[in-house]
Structure 1
Amino acid sequence: MASSEEPNKPANIYDSSSASPTQPLLSKPYPVPSIEEQDPYSTAPQSEPDRTQFLQITYHYGPRPFKDLPFLILFLLISLCTFGFGIFSVAHHNSNYSSVSSFSYDPSSSSCVRSSISSHVSSFARFGFSNFGSSSKSGFIRGLIWVLVITFVLSLPLVWAVLLLLKYYTKQLVYASLPFFIVIPIGVNVYWFVACTVKSSCSNALPLAYRILVMLFVFLIIGVIVWIFVLNWHRVELTINIISVASNALSRNLGLFGVVPCFKIGLLVYYVPIVVFLVFARLNGKIVPRESNGEYYCAWKRDGWVPAYYALAILAMLWSATVMVEAKAYVISGTIAQWYFSKDDSTPKRKLRSSLRNAFGPSAGTICFSGLLICVVHLVRAAVDSARREDTSGIVKVVLRCCVNVFLSAIEFLNKFTINFAAITGEAYCTCARMTYELLRRNLLSTVFVETISTRLLGGIIFVLSAIYAVVVCAILNGVSDLGVYSYYISLLAWALLMVVLGFFVHLLDNVIDTIYVCYAIDRDRGEVCKAEVHDVYVQLPISRSHRTPLNV
């Protein structure tokens, strides 16, 4: 993939004269014969390798060819049709849709005619403005606006502070947050028991014996959580180091904080006209007479193409949402991979711009293919969940639903790392999926470990920080205002807003962790060490039994 003149290529730590004849993991042809079937000392000439075998994997800095163009063309075609028919629906809408009640059936002409405008005027008059707000409600709205604005402004330096804490004081922050994982459920459980005991309606509906059983059951769950923490304490230590390494990598690429939110803003800009088109599509039709029990009345009849346009527009919105998610992961992976494979501490210039150019250029078709696959997975899962709610009888149906969910989860899991390979190598989706399979087949346990524990630990940290912020906001509101119970509602909304902002940061850090893991696996495959601090941490990951290390790192 990369030429001998590619910039910032790290030096191989192994002597070529003593290199083992065994090929790197990811450069083996697929399918790969087992190690037991290979004779490393055989002098017989090897057969010509398959043309589809993987090349030496590294970041491809040079110009990249366009891949998976049919899916890009299909996505653009669906988007153009959505906007084209949407403009047509706006230009040809029927303004009589809102005044159907003012039409009546005329037997002489066998059609619907406007009877009078009085009903239309009276119906319009019902939408007058009224003074529905009291002083308490106006105070609640004013306080809510101020708190949300202040929370959003404070969330930006708070994200920066959390990043610095995770970079330099990861262990202290995690250990300070872990007790709250237990204290908060215990507090909620005790508060619920006391509140239900004090309130007569709750105590009458739920006798004391049942309340005690529920409280003991919740305490049992908390005990199981504590036991899981104790059992996996050594993994928590390793996860702390992984988060620290990822935070350091993210701090070296701060431009992602400015670019990644632009994807959601761009998706919102893309959605606004489509929503307008959907509203105007309802207005395309005419008023026709209908018969019911021998009597005729006037009703609205939509044009025949409107339902098809609804399906097309919804498909465009769903596909564009998944494309946005995959494009964001692609840009993050490409940027972090360039930092990882750079020599020493030198950082390539314009690495973020290069990732954006590749995402919306040569790899745009690959991103559209990945987004379409995830969109189909979500639609199938929604259909399966809907069928489960409607009918749950039959062991065969239950088994089939479980198999489908496992298959869909496997596709999502494989696709998650396929887009990392696409950002690094610039290859087509199917080629990257085969590379991903070769990697995950040998490192499945460590991948699951990195994906699960780090995500849940980060989620717990931002939950604790948001809860502390909400308590502070509630205390301030109760001290400086007389909002009463509304202060709790405002604090809850402030907690939700801060959770959303910090959740964006956690999602970004999760993508960085996954990308570093893939880059580390490529390093092991090539027998090189591009970032020694990453190898010092990731080398401690548990490896599956089927893993065979080609080079003794």
Structure 2
Amino acid sequence: MDNNEDPNKLSTTLQDPTPPTQPLLSKPPFYPPLDQPSITLHPTTSQPVEDQSQFLQISYNYGRRTFKDWPFLLLFSILVLLTFGFGIFASIHRNPHHSQVSSFIYNSTSSSCTLLKEVDESSFLSNPISLNALKSSVLKSLIWTLVITLILSGPFVLFVLFLLKHYTKQIVYVALPFFVIVPVFLDVYWFVACTISSSCSGSFPLAYRILVLVFVLLIIGVIVWIFVVNWHRIELTIKIIGVASNALSQNLGLFVVFPGLILGLFLYYAPIVVFLVFARFNGKIVPREKDGEYYCVWKQDSWVPTYYALAILTMLWSATAMIEAQVYVISGTIAQWYFSDDYDRPKKSLRSALRNAFGPSSGTVCLSGLLLCVVRMVRAMVDNVRQEDAAGIANLIMRCCVNALMAAFDFLNKFTINFAAITGESYCTSARMTYELLKRNLLSAAFVETVSTRILFGIIFVLSAIYAIVVCVIIKAVGHLGVDAYFIAAMAWLLLMMVLGFFVHVLDNVIDTVYVCYAIDRDRGDVCKQEVHEVYVHLPISRSQRSAFSARTTIVV
């Protein structure tokens, strides 16, 4: 620097509040620690105006959004209309004699099948379900247990969120030993109980029991190995879970909206399932010759298999689109919280996210859901081929190519829907901008912190197992159900696992959304949530980088 340069001019440059005209592409920018005021750094290189301003204005789009990817919304709407239209047609034109094929005989005069006699509808009730079975103590205990579990699951989720927000470190370190203790206890308990029980020991010989015992212990050993290998990331994982839990606790309305979305999806599925049932009844009873004799058989209309394929495709696409819509709503809600001031939190953020997801960005959600549906179908086919042990170099090359394409899709799709929810851009634009945003700020597009998801699933597994053990003890103490008490406890464990798994899904998407918002902050040289920067700055750039939580200095980006 020139020694004769005016000091006042230099001071003015350092205090200029104007944002930088371009991001730093060649190397990561350095900023002072969070406890010092940030200094705006002006780059010395110059680039065309369009390159400079392309990513500088990335932030949550509060304005009016335009419709994106509308052709895919149109295609999805056409499929839904065709599914419901042909479903209504199938329901109206169904053949009422579908279940009466045995009552038809061949009429040689008319060369057709005629109805011999009407089926007595009361015959369908000839084997009614025993009322004593419906009133059995096992069934009543199961229903009451599931109802109570479902009622308690709501407060239970909020209690887990409270623990993860305020006592993240304690709950993680307390739960880690139970990741091993609970499975080992259940495995050994089953082995001993099966050995003592004469019926179980008769069904499972000693060799099989030992094989199951060793196999489960090997799985537990793999879990222990995973945590030992990733032990250096545990402290970072604790901080990430704490930040995400705090963000989720500020937007508890998500726990009300998502069950409603799932219920709406089931209500949407209900008529389609009815249409599929009625579609089977579309056909006619025709004569068929065999060994010189004619008999009557049911012949289904040729369009029914096509309708089945159409309806199943629509249901699969709808399911994946609903999954992406949930991610969109989470991202939109959390992003509004992230970019708002602590003293001026956004109002109606959840309503705004829902309006955008099912309004201007509905085409983007449909496209993302379609891609997700195709990827899962391809993976299912590849897994099926792998299980069949298909030999040949052609099959091996095909599987390698498919796996490469799936990895590329995961790489590009990781944060695309999160970015689309923040900016309102189309799917392809969001994928490109997200990749370039993370690359420009030296962040990984394929890695946030996978250990956090594993730990969260381990925590809910332990909590659900403890709940199931308590339920089993209570049922065996109150009633005399014997072995059925284990079945009821297992069903209660499964239901609570499903509810808590939904909670982990929401929290995992919050982690991804905060990561994208943090990347936008880095790109703008801004700090909207200081507590987020203090944690996410320690994320490793790649999977192979071993970065302890205290190994790096906190910086403002």
2:405 match: 407
Moved more, 526-535 or 53-62: 53-62
AA matched with 1:107:
S
Q: Contact (CA 8 Å) 2:412, 2:445: kept in 1 or not? A: no
Q: Residues 42 and 205 (structure 1 numbering): CA distance in 2 closer, same or farther, change over 3 Å? A: closer
Cα deviation digits, residues 94-125 of structure 1 (max 9, x gap): 111111111111111111111223xx22x851
126, 138, 141: which one aligns with 1:128 = 126
Q: Contact (CA 8 Å) 1:442, 1:546: kept in 2 or not? A: no
2:86 match: 85
Q: Residues 504 and 227 (structure 1 numbering): CA distance in 2 closer, same or farther, change over 3 Å? A: closer
1:328 match: 326
Q: Residues 80 and 451 (structure 1 numbering): CA distance in 2 closer, same or farther, change over 3 Å? A: farther
Q: Residues 18 and 476 (structure 1 numbering): CA distance in 2 closer, same or farther, change over 3 Å? A: same
Cα deviation digits, residues 226-266 of structure 1 (max 9, x gap): 45434433311111111111111111111111111111111
Offset of 1:444 from its aligned partner?
8.7
AA matched with 2:450:
T
Secondary structure of 1:361 counterpart: coil
Q: Residues 352 and 18 (structure 1 numbering): CA distance in 2 closer, same or farther, change over 3 Å? A: closer
Q: Residues 305 and 323 (structure 1 numbering): CA distance in 2 closer, same or farther, change over 3 Å? A: same
2:534 match: 536
TM-score norm. by structure 2 comes to 0.85
Q: Contact (CA 8 Å) 2:87, 2:275: kept in 1 or not? A: yes
Residues matched between the structures, number:
516
Question: How far, CA to CA, are the matches of 2:342 and 2:416 in structure 1?
Answer: 27
1:255 match: 253
Q: Contact (CA 8 Å) 1:136, 1:483: kept in 2 or not? A: no
Question: How far, CA to CA, are the matches of 1:545 and 1:459 in structure 2?
Answer: 20
Question: How far, CA to CA, are the matches of 1:380 and 1:540 in structure 2?
Answer: 36
Q: Contact (CA 8 Å) 1:94, 1:283: kept in 2 or not? A: yes
1:432 match: 430
Offset of 1:396 from its aligned partner?
4.1
2:111 match: 110
- 1:23 corresponds to 2:1: no
Offset of 1:546 from its aligned partner?
13
Q: Contact (CA 8 Å) 1:336, 1:516: kept in 2 or not? A: yes
Secondary structure of 1:206 counterpart: helix
AA matched with 2:344:
S
1:166 match: 164
Question: How far, CA to CA, are the matches of 1:455 and 1:371 in structure 2?
Answer: 22
Offset of 1:56 from its aligned partner?
2.3
Question: How far, CA to CA, are the matches of 1:220 and 1:276 in structure 2?
Answer: 45
AA matched with 2:368:
S
Question: How far, CA to CA, are the matches of 1:188 and 1:149 in structure 2?
Answer: 25
AA matched with 2:297:
A
Structure 1 stretches of 5 or more lacking a match?
1-13, 27-39
Question: How far, CA to CA, are the matches of 2:134 and 2:556 in structure 1?
Answer: 71
Offset of 1:383 from its aligned partner?
2.1
Cα deviation digits, residues 423-446 of structure 1 (max 9, x gap): 000011110010122245468975
Matches within 5 A, 1:254-403: 254-403=252-401
- 1:520 corresponds to 2:518: yes
Matches within 5 A, 1:56-205: 56-117=57-118, 120-121=119-120, 124-130=122-128, 132=130, 134=132, 138-191=136-189, 194=192
Q: Contact (CA 8 Å) 2:22, 2:52: kept in 1 or not? A: no
Offset of 1:19 from its aligned partner?
6.9
TM-score norm. by structure 1 comes to 0.85
Offset of 1:150 from its aligned partner?
0.9
Question: How far, CA to CA, are the matches of 1:215 and 1:145 in structure 2?
Answer: 31
Structure 2 stretches of 5 or more lacking a match?
1-13, 27-42, 546-554
- 1:233 corresponds to 2:234: no
Question: How far, CA to CA, are the matches of 2:338 and 2:271 in structure 1?
Answer: 40
- 1:450 corresponds to 2:451: no
Cα deviation digits, residues 465-488 of structure 1 (max 9, x gap): 111111111111111111111111
Q: Contact (CA 8 Å) 2:22, 2:53: kept in 1 or not? A: no
2:241 match: 243
Offset of 1:297 from its aligned partner?
1.2
Q: Residues 218 and 445 (structure 1 numbering): CA distance in 2 closer, same or farther, change over 3 Å? A: farther
Matches within 5 A, 1:2-41: 15-16=15-16, 22-23=22-23
2:550 match: none
Question: How far, CA to CA, are the matches of 1:401 and 1:176 in structure 2?
Answer: 42
Secondary structure of 2:75 counterpart: helix
Question: How far, CA to CA, are the matches of 2:357 and 2:288 in structure 1?
Answer: 53
Secondary structure of 1:67 counterpart: coil
Question: How far, CA to CA, are the matches of 2:95 and 2:448 in structure 1?
Answer: 56
Q: Contact (CA 8 Å) 2:157, 2:503: kept in 1 or not? A: yes
Question: How far, CA to CA, are the matches of 2:252 and 2:183 in structure 1?
Answer: 35
Q: Contact (CA 8 Å) 2:414, 2:446: kept in 1 or not? A: no
Question: How far, CA to CA, are the matches of 2:298 and 2:133 in structure 1?
Answer: 43
AA matched with 2:62:
Y
AA matched with 1:498:
L
Moved more, 80-89 or 299-308: 299-308
Q: Contact (CA 8 Å) 1:442, 1:543: kept in 2 or not? A: no
452, 473, 484: which one aligns with 1:486 = 484
Secondary structure of 1:297 counterpart: strand
Question: How far, CA to CA, are the matches of 1:492 and 1:387 in structure 2?
Answer: 33
Secondary structure of 1:457 counterpart: helix
Question: How far, CA to CA, are the matches of 1:477 and 1:195 in structure 2?
Answer: 17
Q: Contact (CA 8 Å) 1:443, 1:544: kept in 2 or not? A: no
Secondary structure of 2:136 counterpart: helix
Q: Residues 136 and 376 (structure 1 numbering): CA distance in 2 closer, same or farther, change over 3 Å? A: closer
Secondary structure of 1:301 counterpart: strand
Question: How far, CA to CA, are the matches of 2:72 and 2:204 in structure 1?
Answer: 60
